[in-house]
Amino acid sequence: MEIDFEKTQGLVPVIIQDEQTLEVLMLGYMNQEAWDKTQAEGKVTFFSRSKNRLWTKGEESGNFLFVKETHIDCDNDTILIKASPVGPTCHTGSRSCFKTNYNQNFIFELEQIIKSRYENPSEESYVNKLRSKGLNKIAQKVGEEGVETVIAALNETDEDFINESSDLIFHLLVLLREKGKTLADIGLNLEGRHKK
């Protein structure tokens, strides 16, 4: 699909979304030149209406937005970019230009933290210590945390239940990483089941 820059007098809105959490990070505008540069370099470049020039996000701060996917809407006049942000996106230092409830998406960030621990092992890391014990121990921990979650749900406080549920999800994320699987794999499977 081709972007219809003429329909909007040469500038189209661009929504930037975190590729992992799907959180909306910011809105900017592109002209044809900014779009071409973004595609060529893999870093988001906008047309700054206030500066009246191309502006690559992060050119001063180093907080670049690396392009992972691009999508054009059904009217060919809006772009959605799923990006991997380096540092905060907003000029205020916030992760997003919108005041969203990011903590609900922390599970996706935690998945990336675990991945990073696998790729850059550290002796102090709990993930590294657990990983060194092997698949059987990781799977056993998921089982233990599952049982503790059930016990907390039936006999303990809401706080205990949330704590045990958090432990269960954390260890499940480690097990997924150990098996080379991701939350995206789980999401696709659940979506497929839902459609049946």
The whole-number pLDDT of residue 183 equals: 86
> Does residue 107 share a domain with residue 190?
yes
The pTM of the whole model exceeds 0.85: no
Domain that holds residue 53: 6-85
> Does residue 51 share a domain with residue 24?
yes
> Does residue 10 share a domain with residue 75?
yes
> Does residue 109 share a domain with residue 38?
no
- pLDDT 10s digits, 139-184: 999 999 999 999 999 999 999 999 999 999 999 999 999 999 988 8
Q: What CATH number corresponds to the domain at position 81?
A: 3.10.20.810
Half-sphere exposure of 18 (CA within 13 A, CB side): 23
- pLDDT 10s digits, 44-103: 999 999 999 999 999 989 999 999 999 999 999 999 999 999 988 988 888 888 877 666
